[in-house]
Amino acid sequence: MSQALKTPVLNALYAQPGSEADIRSIATLVSNTGMAQPVIEHLRFKPETSAVARVVDGGHSSSGAASQPWWFAAYAPSETNKAGKLLKRADQTGYPLFTTLLPDDPRTSVFCGPIGLDRMLFKALAEAKAVDSHGYVDGTVLSYNPWRRVVFKRDGVSGESSVVRVWAEPPATAPFLSALHQLGAPVLPVTGMTQHSIEQPWITGGDFTERLASDVAAGGALLPAIAEAVARLHSIDPAAMVSMTQEVLHSRMPGARGQKLAVPGVNPVAALQSAGNGLTCFLDDLRGHFEDVSDDVLRAIAENPGAGVVSHGDLSADQVVLGEDGSPLLIDFDRMKMAPIGYDLGDFAAVEMLSGRNPATAIALADAYRHVPGAGVVTDESVRAWTAFHVLLRVTEAFRNLDPDCINHARQRIDLAHAVLRGKVE
């Protein structure tokens, strides 16, 4: 590991030799969640500042509030103000908050608390009336990114259910969901909206993560249907979407008058620079190799530009669900942007590869897209370039998931991006 992992809290999280006392201290801390097997994951680390992660039940307990994720946070001595605010808010609300000291670094404040005490989501959750008296989200948590976002299923008094997304800072694309649906994009309607949340109907079809491979093997119609759904999204007129969104905001949220809306465009240079900066947290010696492959990827993207379309921005099998009529619907548009067609198809391919599933599924989706009547033109070279791009964006995932072999896995992803770009992946 690099110099960064000499920080006691990271040494403990990665179970480095000599950190046994800190490991025991953190294990005791997270046991207060009441989970059968508390596991820390999804780390965000800022050197000399903080480490934030979520705590989930590795025992897969599905009963009671203890099955909900919690957050874990460690603050450097310079961040006493943030630590103090957590303590004050816990005292005001009565929500549980647990803290401990690390034997190897007693100056570092380490905390663990329920989502209701999330430092950045606290006010947004209160606005959505989404927290019970114990600090737990009043519903079934589907996804949680501490300090950023929580998604949960809420059951209504009449038996109907909905999905609520609550953000600390809503993405610029959040207001567009309602207009997307009205313009014919394959998305769920919006049934509720606040400044920091969106509510949509709950559907029972599940996502296609497990179904895609069997569908391809059986020669089924699932991939063509997904390809058609993606093509329908890409055909949306961005100007019409912006105009309609402005009208929706005026009718639902009068305070939004005058708000300027625009669909952000993809900036591959900035995105790869950000991913490269993340390497400095744990293996700066790979930075040169990463930048060499990044240069090749950016060159390939420039050589195969393609026209910008309204893109999902985070397309993968788990972002496609089955509607009531059996047709595919796209969900989770937090990263929607204007980008070439290859951006979405490459994203889908990258996730399939990194998940260890058969890359033939992604190839079949791109082929099915080309057969959709009226779909835009996308080349193999463009899909390969954007696939390599998305692999590079995920190079630090192993570090964030506290994988003890994260250095080798990061190196493998850089090599995979290079191989994809050269067409050497079957």
Co-location of 182 and 224 in the same domain: no
Max CA pair span of the chain = 65
179-206: burial string, b at 16+ Cβ within 10 Å, e else: bbbbbebbbbebeebbebbbbbebeebe
Co-location of 233 and 377 in the same domain: yes
Considering 137, 166, 201, which residue would you say is the last residue of a domain? 201
87 inside domain: yes
Co-location of 237 and 327 in the same domain: yes
For position 230, which CATH number holds?
3.90.1200.10
Co-location of 333 and 190 in the same domain: no
Radius of gyration of the chain (CA): 22
Q: What is the pLDDT of residue 215?
A: 74
Span 131-161, pLDDT tens digits: 999 999 999 999 999 999 999 999 887 778 9
Residue 60 in this model has a pLDDT that exceeds 70: no
Considering 71, 98, 117, which residue would you say is the last residue of a domain? 117
Co-location of 274 and 359 in the same domain: yes
For position 178, which CATH number holds?
3.30.200
Co-location of 144 and 79 in the same domain: no
Name beta bridge partners: 338. 265, 310
206 inside domain: no
Co-location of 179 and 281 in the same domain: no
User: CA-based angle 266:270:273, to the nearest 5?
Assistant: 140
Residue 2 in this model has a pLDDT that exceeds 70: no
User: CA-based angle 208:214:219, to the nearest 5?
Assistant: 110
- Specify burial of residue 6 (Cβ count, 10 A radius: 0-12, 13-18, 19+): exposed
Residue 311 in this model has a pLDDT that exceeds 60: yes
Q: Nearest-CA neighbor of 69 among 99, 29, 25, 113?
A: 113
Output phi, psi for 82, to 5 deg. Answer: -65, -40
Strand, helix or coil at 368?
helix
247 inside domain: yes
d(C-alpha 15, C-alpha 24), whole Å: 10
286 inside domain: yes
d(C-alpha 27, C-alpha 90), whole Å: 21
41 inside domain: yes
Co-location of 22 and 132 in the same domain: no
How much is the average pLDDT of 296-311?
A: 96
CB 119 within 8 A of CB 85: yes
User: How close are the terminal C-alpha atoms of the chain, in Å?
Assistant: 32
CB atoms within 10 A of CB 312: 27
Residue 3 in this model has a pLDDT that exceeds 80: no
45 inside domain: yes
Co-location of 269 and 359 in the same domain: yes
d(C-alpha 227, C-alpha 233), whole Å: 10
d(C-alpha 395, C-alpha 382), whole Å: 20
How many structural domains does the chain have?
A: 3
Name beta bridge partners: 33. none
Q: What is the pLDDT of residue 5?
A: 52
Q: What is the pLDDT of residue 77?
A: 85
181 inside domain: yes
Co-location of 182 and 67 in the same domain: no
**Lookup result for tokens 């390969």:** 384
Q: What is the pLDDT of residue 255?
A: 55
Co-location of 103 and 147 in the same domain: no
CB 198 within 8 A of CB 192: yes
Span 76-113, pLDDT tens digits: 888 888 889 999 999 999 999 999 989 988 888 899 99
Helix or strand (DSSP H, E) at 351: helix 341-354
pLDDT above 70 coverage of the chain, percent: 93
Q: What is the pLDDT of residue 156?
A: 80
426 inside domain: no
Span 23-49, pLDDT tens digits: 999 999 999 999 999 999 999 998 888
How much is the average pLDDT of 8-36?
A: 92
Span 318-348, pLDDT tens digits: 999 988 888 899 999 999 999 999 999 999 9
Tokens of 205: 């079809």
Residue type, 36: A
Which residues span the domain enclosing 7? 3-117
Co-location of 223 and 332 in the same domain: yes
Considering 143, 168, 201, which residue would you say is the last residue of a domain? 201
pLDDT above 90 coverage of the chain, percent: 65
CB 313 within 8 A of CB 180: no
d(C-alpha 110, C-alpha 28), whole Å: 12
